[in-house]
Amino acid sequence: MEDFEAYVSAAWPRLLRSAWLLTHDWHRAEDLVQTVLARAYGRWPRIKDGAPDAYLRAMLASTYLSWWRRRWRGELPTEQLPEQPAGGGELEGVELRHLLADALARLPRQQRAVLMLRFHGDFTEADTARALGLRIGTVKSHTSRALAALRHDPQLRALLSEGAGR
């Protein structure tokens, strides 16, 4: 299926970003996206005419949560050097990512999944609830708690205000 491969080539980086928000580790993110794409392959004729990104992000979130319920089966390659903080005192992407990863790691996994779908995948509350098999009220409370946790994180608070000042 050439159109599946073409889609994967184009969508890979954005799906990887979504998966990183769940796993806060690039290699686990890669493992998660590969798993989801392999599952999506057989359903591609049905997926392709809708909103494939949204469908796959929902699969990323639900697969991630089911992995957690069972166990992480991932295999981590190691030849990638750990990311190093950028120099020069400026808060670059790597440092920002480290801070965000720490903050995300402190969130319960369902809150992390809700956060990814709502604020990265642009899902509505109803769509998020459907994707994760939750009630809309639960999605609302997860969203509100996750936002509060990020807002009260001392290191992220400065970043949030920095972003607001742009």
Distance CA 67, CA 119 (A): 22
Nearest distance in Å: CB 138, other proteins: 18
3-state secondary structure of 143: helix
Q: What letter would DSSP give residue 81?
A: P
Place of tokens 């591609």: 44
Instruction: State yes or no: residue 84 binds other proteins (CB under 8 A).
Output: yes
Give me the least distance between CB of 52 and other proteins, in Å please.
14
Q: Which stretch binds other proteins (CB under 8 A): 45-53, 57-65, 128-136, 148-156?
A: 148-156
Residue 75 burial (10 A CB sphere; 0-12, 13-18, 19+):
exposed
Task: Report the phi/psi class of residue 135: left, alpha or beta, with left for phi > 0 and alpha for psi in -120 to 50.
Answer: beta
Alpha helix stretches (DSSP H) within 70-108: 93-105
Candidates 45, 51, 108, 119; binder of other proteins (CB under 8 A) is 119
Exactly one of 120, 130, 140, 145 binds other proteins (CB under 8 A); that residue is 120
CB of 134 to other proteins, least distance (A): 19
Which 8-state DSSP code applies to residue 117?
I
What span, in angstroms and rounded, lies between the C-alpha atoms of 20 and 80? 16
Min. distance of Cβ 61 from other proteins in angstroms?
14
Complex with other proteins: residue 35 or 110, whichever CB lies closer: 35
Contact residues for other proteins (CB under 8 A)?
Answer: 5, 8-9, 12-13, 16-17, 20-21, 25-26, 30, 34-35, 37-39, 41-42, 68, 71-72, 74-84, 87, 93-94, 96-97, 100, 115-116, 119-120, 147, 150-151, 156, 159-160, 163-164, 166
